[in-house]
Structure 1
Amino acid sequence: MGRSLTGTVIITGGNGSLGSEIAVAIAKTQPFTHLLLTARHPKRQDARDLISRIRQIGPRSIEILSLDLTDLQSVTSFAHRTIERVRSREIPPISNLIHSAAVASYTVDELTLDGYDPVYQTNCVAPFFLTVGLLEAFRAGDGTPDGGAKVIYIGCSTASEGRLDFFDREQGRDTRPPGTILSAKEGNIRFGSSKLLASVALYALRRSLASTGSIALDIFTLDPGGMAGESHLRTGAPLSVRVAHQTRSGLGPILRMVSRSSINKASVPAKAIAKVAFRRASVEQAERYFILDGEYEAASVLGTLRQGATMESLLVRMMRQVEGSSKGSPVSISPAPTTY
Structure 2
Amino acid sequence: MSTIERKTVVLTGASGGIGMATAKALTERGFEVIAVVRDPSRVRDVGAVFQADLANLADVVRVGRELAEKVPRIDVLINNAGLHAFSQRTTVDGLPVMVAVNHVAPFLLTHALLPKLRASRGRIVHVASDAHRRVTTLSLPDDLVRTAQFSARESSFLYAQSKLLGVLFTKALARRLNGTGVVANSCCPGLNVTGLGRESRTFAALAKVLAAVGAFSPASGARIVVRLAADPESGSTSGTHFSRDGSVKVDTTLVANVALQEQLWAETARLPAVSSLGDFR
Relative to the length of structure 1, the TM-score reads 0.72
Shift in Å, 1:63: 1.2
In the alignment, does 2:214 pair up with 1:216? Answer: no
Q: Take 2:34 and 2:151, find their aligned partners in 1: how far apart are those partners?
A: 35
Q: Take 1:28 and 1:76, find their aligned partners in 2: how far apart are those partners?
A: 30
Shift in Å, 1:102: 0.6
The DSSP-based 3-state class of the residue aligned with 1:137 is helix
Aligned counterparts, 1:69-84, within 5 A = 69-84=54-69
Aligned match for 1:151, one of 103, 107, 124: 124
One-letter amino acid of the counterpart of residue 236, structure 1: E
Structure 1: gaps of 5 or more residues: 52-60, 142-147, 248-261, 334-340
In the alignment, does 2:230 pair up with 1:278? Answer: yes
Larger Rg: 1
Q: Take 2:240 and 2:122, find their aligned partners in 1: how far apart are those partners?
A: 15
Shift in Å, 1:273: 2.1
What corresponds to 1:267 in structure 2?
A: 219
Distance 1:166 1:324, change over 3 A: closer
Q: Take 1:286 and 1:274, find their aligned partners in 2: how far apart are those partners?
A: 15
Q: Take 1:70 and 1:81, find their aligned partners in 2: how far apart are those partners?
A: 17
One-letter amino acid of the counterpart of residue 72, structure 1: L
Aligned match for 2:36, one of 20, 24, 38: 38
In percent, how many aligned pairs have the same letter? Answer: 23
What corresponds to 1:164 in structure 2?
A: 138
Aligned counterparts, 1:57-76, within 5 A = 62-76=47-61
Relative to the length of structure 2, the TM-score reads 0.86
Shift in Å, 1:78: 1.1
Aligned counterparts, 1:73-152, within 5 A = 73-86=58-71, 91=72, 93-109=73-89, 111-141=90-120, 148-152=121-125
One-letter amino acid of the counterpart of residue 124, structure 2: V
Q: Take 1:19 and 1:121, find their aligned partners in 2: how far apart are those partners?
A: 19
Distance 1:220 1:263, change over 3 A: farther
Structure 2: gaps of 5 or more residues: none
How many residues of Structure 1 are paired with residues of Structure 2 in the alignment? Answer: 275
